[in-house]
Every structure is written in structure tokens, then in C-alpha cells.
């Protein structure tokens, strides 16, 4: 029972982060019909930004978080201008290959700037690391911070999309780009900001997660895979699906690792992807994000 509750708690925590990554992937996908393979590396860069700001330069946590998110936002914009905008008309193959290329560039740059493959950077936790007892379940307080932070970010997203003008423009463009142009929305600019927003979600996830896991350049791809697994499970065009998928993947991972074998934890995301692609083409929530013409 202890193990079950521990696994559940950890699963929900990591799941919250995967949900954030998935959110970024889905937001960009809905708008542009493209999956950004460099998305995980945006997370990684956000984390490294936060490390530089908070650990190397001593800026306090919350401002570091905000600046790191802003930094990720900018890198997201760069991604759009380099890897998406010039290639949108050329089809999927080109964009995918371009994002892969960009992903490796980011990884290599991070490796040079912040240290090699063997260097795992530790990030100090926001609160004291002693675990809290919750009626028989022990969880780290950082876990709570992570889940609370992730939920906060998701709420910000929901608010952003539903109330702000920019958010509504993004939704409109995602649903019907032609109509959006007719109404005067500058579609390519919206795409650019969408990339930025997606990246910001990744950056936020990074900073939240950094105290729990050490930071290393290869974490980007790992996160991307798990985020994509979450998005695929929930339905690639569905934001609630991404969130649901995130928590599910987190839990599946933990339970597979706990009850089958620890090493299975790494492979569960891959299995989820293959399973979802073959058996759940529309995801659990039935939305594949088909763009209506």
C-alpha cells in the first residue's frame, strides 16, 4: 500500500510536468499542424536558463522562473522563424527534419555552454527537502510545489486562451486559418507567438522540474517523447487530452517501473506511443486535431 501511494504521488507529480510539455506540443500542433521535435530541448534550455540565473548569478527563484520562461518564449520564436516559417509550404518532411536539426544544435550548444554529458547539474529546491507525511504517505514537499506550479500554469493557459484577445486569436487561427486571415488576423504572426507560448510552457515545466531531477542536455528528447506520448494518448489536437494524457503517462511509468521492473520505466513512454498510434488514432478524447478546410 505504501508503494502504491508513493507511486501514485510520484506519478501525479511527473505527470503534471509531462502534461505541461504535452500542452506546449498540442498548442503548437493545433495551430500549425506540425509537431516540433525540438520542443523538449526548449524545456532543456529553459532549465539551463533558470540554472544560470538562479544558481550561477544568484537571482531569487521566482524572478528566475519568470525570466527563464521569457527566455524560452524567445527561443520558441526563433524556432518558428528558423524551422517553421520558411518551410511551412514545403510540407511535413522538411519541417520535421528542420526541427530535428535545430534540436541537435540546441543540445550541442547547451553541452558546450553548461557542461558535458557527464555533468548533471543540481538545482536547489524551492523549499526544504524534508518529506512531509500525509497520513501514511510520504512525499517530498517539492512534489507539491511542482504539482501546484503545473496546475497554476495550466490555469494561466486556460485563462489566456479564453479571455485575452491574443489567446482567442490563436484559437481562431488554429480552427480555421483562412477565416482568420479574412478577419484580419496576421496568421504568420500568430504562429510565431504560438511557438513562443508553447516554448514558455516548456520553460515553466523545466524550472519546476529542475529541483527534482538533475539537469542535463539530453533531457530534452526524453521529455519530448514523454510529452508526445501524453499528447498522443489524449488526442493530438486536444488540450484537455494533453493534460489527461500527461497524468496518465506519469502514472503508467511509475506503475510499470514499480510493479514490473525499474528499467521498464524508461520504455513505457515508447510503448504508449506505439500503442496510441495503432489503437487510439484519435486519442482517448477523440480529437485528432484535423484542420477543417
Partner 1 sequence: MKHLFGSRNFLIVLFGTLAVLPIFANQYTLFVSNLVMMYIILALGLNLLIGYAGQLAFANAAMFGIGAYGCGLLQVKLGMPFFVAAPGGAVIAMAVGTLMAFPALRLSGIYLALATLAFAQATQWAMLHWEAVTFGAGGFALEPLDFSPLPVSSAIGTFYMTWAVSLGLLLFASFAMRSRIGRAFVAMRDGEIAAEALGIDLLKYKAMAFAISGFYAGAAGALFVPILDFVSPESFDLFQMILHKSMVVVGGLGSIMGSVIGATLLVFLLEVLRDFKSTQEIAFGALLLGFVLFQPKGVVTFIRRWVPGWNEPLHYTDGTKQTKQAASTDEPVATEASEERT
Q: Are 270 and 226 in contact (CB under 8 A)?
A: no
Residues 263 and 222: their CA atoms lie apart, in Å, by 15
Q: Are 273 and 232 in contact (CB under 8 A)?
A: yes
Among 197, 273, 285, 287, binds partner 1 (CB under 8 A): 273
- The residue among 9 and 35 lying less far from partner 1, judged by its C-beta, is 35
Three-state DSSP at 134 gives strand
Q: How many residues bind partner 1 (CB under 8 A)?
A: 46
Residues 243 and 257: their CA atoms lie apart, in Å, by 21
- The residue among 134 and 270 lying less far from partner 1, judged by its C-beta, is 270
Q: Are 177 and 194 in contact (CB under 8 A)?
A: no
- The residue among 54 and 226 lying less far from partner 1, judged by its C-beta, is 226
> In the chain, where does DSSP find H-type helix?
2-32, 39-50, 61-79, 92-114, 141-163, 165-175, 177-182, 187-209, 219-234, 239-255, 264-279
Point out which span in 124-132, 145-153, 160-168, 223-231 binds partner 1 (CB under 8 A): 223-231
- Least distance to partner 1, CB of residue 106, Å: 8
- The residue among 86 and 129 lying less far from partner 1, judged by its C-beta, is 86
C-alpha atoms less than 13 angstroms from C-alpha of 141 in its C-beta half-sphere: 9
Task: Please tell me whether residue 93 binds partner 1 under the rule CB under 8 A.
Answer: yes
Task: Please tell me whether residue 187 binds partner 1 under the rule CB under 8 A.
Answer: no
Task: Please tell me whether residue 98 binds partner 1 under the rule CB under 8 A.
Answer: yes
Point out which span in 134-142, 200-208, 251-259, 268-276 binds partner 1 (CB under 8 A): 268-276
Q: Are 230 and 21 in contact (CB under 8 A)?
A: yes
Distance of CA 184 to the CA centre of its chain: 30
Point out which span in 56-64, 137-145, 197-205, 265-273 binds partner 1 (CB under 8 A): 265-273
What would the x/- binding string for partner 1 be over residues 29 to 68, using CB under 8 A?
A: -----xx---------------------------------
Point out which span in 122-130, 161-169, 241-249, 269-277 binds partner 1 (CB under 8 A): 269-277
Amino acid at each position: 500500500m505504501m508503494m502504491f501511494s508513493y507511486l501514485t504521488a510520484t506519478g501525479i507529480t511527473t505527470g503534471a510536468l509531462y502534461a505541461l510539455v504535452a500542452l506546449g506540443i498540442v498548442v503548437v500542433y493545433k495551430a500549425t499542424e506540425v509537431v516540433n521535435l525540438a520542443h523538449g530541448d526548449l524545456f532543456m534550455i529553459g532549465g539551463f536558463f533558470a540554472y544560470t540565473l538562479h544558481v550561477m548569478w544568484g537571482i531569487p527563484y521566482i524572478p528566475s522562473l519568470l525570466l527563464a520562461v521569457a527566455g524560452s518564449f524567445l527561443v520558441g520564436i526563433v524556432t518558428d522563424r528558423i524551422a517553421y516559417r520558411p518551410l511551412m509550404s514545403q510540407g511535413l518532411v522538411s519541417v520535421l527534419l528542420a526541427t530535428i536539426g535545430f534540436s541537435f544544435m540546441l543540445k550541442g550548444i547547451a553541452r558546450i555552454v553548461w557542461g558535458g554529458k557527464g555533468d548533471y547539474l543540481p538545482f536547489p529546491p524551492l523549499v526544504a527537502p524534508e518529506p512531509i507525511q500525509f497520513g501514511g504517505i510520504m512525499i517530498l514537499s517539492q512534489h507539491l510545489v511542482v504539482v501546484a506550479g503545473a496546475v497554476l500554469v495550466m490555469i494561466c493557459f486556460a485563462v489566456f486562451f479564453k479571455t485575452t484577445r491574443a489567446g482567442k486569436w490563436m484559437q481562431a487561427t488554429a480552427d480555421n486559418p483562412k477565416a482568420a486571415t479574412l478577419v484580419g488576423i496576421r496568421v504568420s504572426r500568430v504562429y510565431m507567438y504560438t511557438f513562443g507560448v508553447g516554448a514558455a510552457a516548456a520553460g515553466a515545466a523545466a524550472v519546476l522540474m529542475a529541483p527534482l531531477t538533475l539537469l542535463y542536455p539530453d533531457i530534452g528528447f526524453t521529455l519530448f517523447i514523454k510529452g508526445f506520448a501524453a499528447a498522443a494518448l489524449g488526442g493530438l489536437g486536444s488540450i484537455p487530452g494533453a493534460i489527461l494524457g500527461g497524468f496518465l503517462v506519469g502514472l503508467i511509468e511509475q506503475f510499470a517501473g514499480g510493479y514490473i521492473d525499474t528499467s521498464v520505466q524508461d520504455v513505457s513512454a515508447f510503448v504508449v506511443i506505439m500503442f496510441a498510434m495503432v489503437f487510439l488514432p484519435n486519442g482517448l478524447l477523440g480529437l485528432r486535431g484535423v484542420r477543417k478546410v
